[in-house]
Every structure is written in structure tokens, then in C-alpha cells.
């Protein structure tokens, strides 16, 4: 059975100029131990589809799906309090902006211990011990002292490690990483990707890696969903996608990789891709 199964997900926002469809009939599955990349340029509905699956969108979003299940359980139909027990515990998400996702008013130690208290019911001593273990696991030096730091006292890379530690604190079965390296320096990006892949392999988690970067896809994914303007353009295992991309949009994404581009300036996706086949795209 798939961990997360999504069929025909539609997300519409109520806006001043009428309803706006950010996700338009997306379907995908993620299995235990599998890395699924969702790739597509900014605005293609990658974050919104995952936030919808997690039930984390604001009330202005109308979410419908033919199927939205975690481990066979219907997420849309279950009561909110049931869903809250799953989200943050069995499904965890790392958000795009590490510094903004942490609360500036509390120490990072408090923030990770809070998750351990709420979801795992650990007492004070056990929480602290586990928090130190987790900081060690994500490569934060001097973990015991670091627990007393506030987010602004740490670098972006360190904050991202804290976010990852919080996300894996309750041993999630599925981890959703939303552009986990985009906000970081290039030198730190590789370290964070390597860390995520190591944790995924060690714990056999399902991992959804959201990215706009085909290089990240190549380094991490087993399977890839290509999304554009709220629709799934293509889905394939990673080798097939790179060797034999079916849609023009995927080809355009691949051509924008530095290795494949010729000349001094990288072509933009819109230069490479003529938006002629979105309506006919396979779902
Ligand atoms: N709360 C919201 N209200 C209205 N529109 C939104 C909201 N959140 C996201 N959107 C719109 O939905 C579209 C998809 O956004 P998003 O999923 O964040 O794209 P991606 O993650 O692929 O860059 C964008 O056009 C964005 O402006
Ligand atoms: Mg996004």
C-alpha cells in the first residue's frame, strides 16, 4: 500500500478577482522508502498541493480530491483532531524558509522539545536527551549548548538542520521537504541534501522532495512528478525522465540545467518551452 495517495487533487483559492485554481487535478503516490521529486518552476502549485495534503492551507482554499489517503486512511474525511495526530508525527514537512519557519521568541531547544512533548508525551529529562540526540543526528556541533540558542543566533544552514531535527523528531513515515536548500548558500546546499538522503535511507522514510532544480532531482529521486501550472505534465522514474523525457516542458527544464546549456547565459524556461500542450496534458 502507498503511504500517501492522491487522486485528482484540486485546490482553488477565493481571490478578489474570483476563484483561482492553483492545483488542477494532480495525482501521485509515494511508497515507504521511496524518494519522489516534485519538480516545476515557481508558481506551478508544488507547495500548495503538499500543504493541501497536510491540511495546512488557509480557509480561503477549497480542497477536493477523489482520493487523499495516508496509509489507507482518508485524510479529507477524518475529523480535524484525528488529522492533527498524523500531521507533524507520521507526516512531517520541512518548509522552504528555515529561519522564518522557526519561532523567533523561543529557543530552538524549547521548539524541538515541544514537539516531543505534544506528539511523543516524553517527560522533561527524556525530551532533553532525545533533543540532544536529534541535534547530533543532523550534525549540529555542541548540541547541549545549542539547545539554548534562539534562531537569530544561528546561521541559515544551522536553522535548516534544526528544522530537519524537528521534522524527524517523531520518526515520521513520510517527510515532505519543500525546497529545503533553496534559501541556503551553495556550499551548504550539498551538505543538507546529503543529510536528508542519509536520514531517509537510515529510517526507510518515504520522502517527497519539492524542487525547481533538476540537479537536485538527479541527486535524490527515485521517481519524478513534473508539474506545471497546477497540472502534472509527466511522471517517470528518474532514469527514464532524464534519458527520455516525454513532455516539452520536461525537456525545457532539462535544457535549463547548466551542463546542457550552451552560451554564457542560461535560457529561461519560457524561452525554451512553448506553452501549447498544457490543456492536453495527461493527468
Ligand atoms: N493563500 C493563497 N491565496 C491565493 N493564491 C495562492 C495562495 N497560496 C498560493 N497561491 C498561488 O498558487 C499558485 C501555486 O503556488 P505554489 O504552490 O506556492 O507554487 P510553487 O510551490 O510551485 O512555487 C501560485 O500562483 C500562488 O500565487
Ligand atoms: Mg513552493
Q: Which atom in ligand 1 lies closest to the alpha carbon of residue 23? A: 14
Smallest-distance ligand from the CA of 52? 1
Nearest-CA residue for atom 6 of ligand 1: 13
Q: Domain extents for the chain?
A: 30-44+83-90+170-277
Q: Please report the pLDDT score of residue 259 as a whole number.
A: 58
d(CA 241, CA 247): 10
Averaged pLDDT, groups of 10, the chain, 283 residues long = 96 94 97 97 95 92 97 93 89 86 95 94 96 94 97 93 94 95 86 93 96 92 97 96 94 77 58 54 42
Residue 63 in contact with ligand 1 by CB distance below 6 A: no
Q: Which of 48, 51, 232 to mutate to test the pocket of ligand 1 (most atoms within 8 A of CB)?
A: 48
- Is the distance from the beta carbon of residue 47 to the nearest atom of ligand 1 less than 6 Å? yes
Three state DSSP letters for 1-57: CCCEEEEEEEEEEEECCEEEEEEEEEEEEECCCCEEEEECCCCCCHHHHHHHHHCCC
Please return the burial class of 80, using the count of CB atoms within 10 Å of its CB with bins 0-12, 13-18 and 19+: exposed
For ligand 2, a single-atom ion, the residues with CB < 5 A are 47
pLDDT computed for residue 283 by the predictor = 40
Residue 182: the pLDDT is 86
From the CA of 46, which ligand is nearest? 1
pLDDT of res. 257: 73
Beta-carbon contacts of residue 42 (< 8 Å; ≥ 6 apart): 212
Residue nearest to atom 16 of ligand 1 (CA): 45
The ligand 1 atom at the shortest distance from the C-alpha of residue 51 is: 17
Ligand nearest to the CA of residue 63, numbered in listed order? 1
> What per-residue confidence (pLDDT) applies to 104?
94
Q: Hunting for cell 497546477 — which residue is that?
A: 230
What is the dotted CATH code of the domain comprising 30-44+83-90+170-277?
A: 3.40.50.300
CB neighbours (10 Å) of residue 244?
Answer: 9
Report pLDDT for 266: 58
Relative to the alpha carbon of 49, which ligand is closest? 1
What's residue 243's pLDDT?
95
Task: Please tell me the distance from the alpha carbon of residue 271 to that of residue 102, in angstroms, as a whole number.
Answer: 37
Q: How far is the CA of 145 from the centre of ligand 2 (A)?
A: 33
State whether the beta carbon of 58 lies less than 6 angstroms from ligand 1: yes
| Residue 188: predicted pLDDT | 87
Which residue's C-alpha cell is 519538480?
39
172 closest CA partner among 107, 234, 248, 94: 94
| pLDDT, position 166 | 95
Q: What is the pLDDT of residue 95?
A: 87
With contact defined as beta carbons under 8 Å apart, do 172 and 90 qualify? Answer: yes
Does residue 211's CB lie within 6 angstroms of at least one atom of ligand 1?
no
Q: What is the pLDDT of residue 282?
A: 42
Amino acid at each position: 500500500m502507498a503511504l500517501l495517495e492522491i487522486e485528482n487533487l484540486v485546490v482553488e483559492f477565493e481571490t478578489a478577482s474570483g476563484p483561482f485554481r492553483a492545483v488542477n487535478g494532480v495525482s501521485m503516490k509515494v511508497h515507504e522508502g521511496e524518494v519522489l521529486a516534485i519538480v516545476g518552476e515557481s508558481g506551478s502549485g508544488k507547495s500548495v498541493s503538499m500543504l493541501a495534503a497536510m491540511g495546512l492551507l488557509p480557509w480561503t482554499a477549497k480542497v477536493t480530491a477523489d482520493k487523499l489517503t495516508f496509509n489507507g486512511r482518508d485524510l479529507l474525511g477524518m475529523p480535524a483532531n484525528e488529522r492533527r495526530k498524523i500531521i507533524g508525527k507520521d507526516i512531517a514537512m520541512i518548509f522552504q524558509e528555515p529561519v522564518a519557519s522557526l519561532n523567533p521568541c523561543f529557543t530552538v531547544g524549547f521548539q524541538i522539545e515541544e514537539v516531543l512533548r505534544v506528539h511523543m508525551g516524553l517527560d522533561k529529562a527524556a525530551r532533553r536527551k532525545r533533543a540532544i540526540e536529534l541535534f547530533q543526528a543532523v550534525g549540529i556541533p555542541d548540541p547541549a549548548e545549542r539547545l539554548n540558542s534562539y534562531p537569530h543566533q544561528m546561521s541559515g544552514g544551522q536553522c535548516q538542520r534544526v528544522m530537519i531535527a524537528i521534522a524527524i523528531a517523531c520518526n515520521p513515515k513520510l517527510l515532505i521537504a519543500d525546497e529545503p536548500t533553496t534559501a541556503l548558500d551553495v556550499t551548504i546546499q550539498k551538505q543538507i541534501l546529503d543529510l536528508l538522503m542519509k536520514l531517509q535511507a537510515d529510517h526507510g522514510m518515504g520522502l517527497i522532495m519539492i524542487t525547481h532544480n533538476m540537479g537536485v532531482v538527479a541527486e535524490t529521486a527515485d521517481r519524478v512528478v513534473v508539474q506545471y501550472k497546477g497540472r502534472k505534465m509527466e511522471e517517470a522514474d528518474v532514469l527514464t525522465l532524464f534519458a527520455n523525457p516525454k513532455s516539452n516542458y520536461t525537456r525545457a527544464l532539462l535544457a535549463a540545467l547548466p551542463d546542457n546549456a550552451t552560451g554564457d547565459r542560461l535560457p529561461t524556461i519560457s524561452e525554451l518551452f512553448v506553452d501549447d500542450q498544457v490543456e492536453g496534458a495527461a493527468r
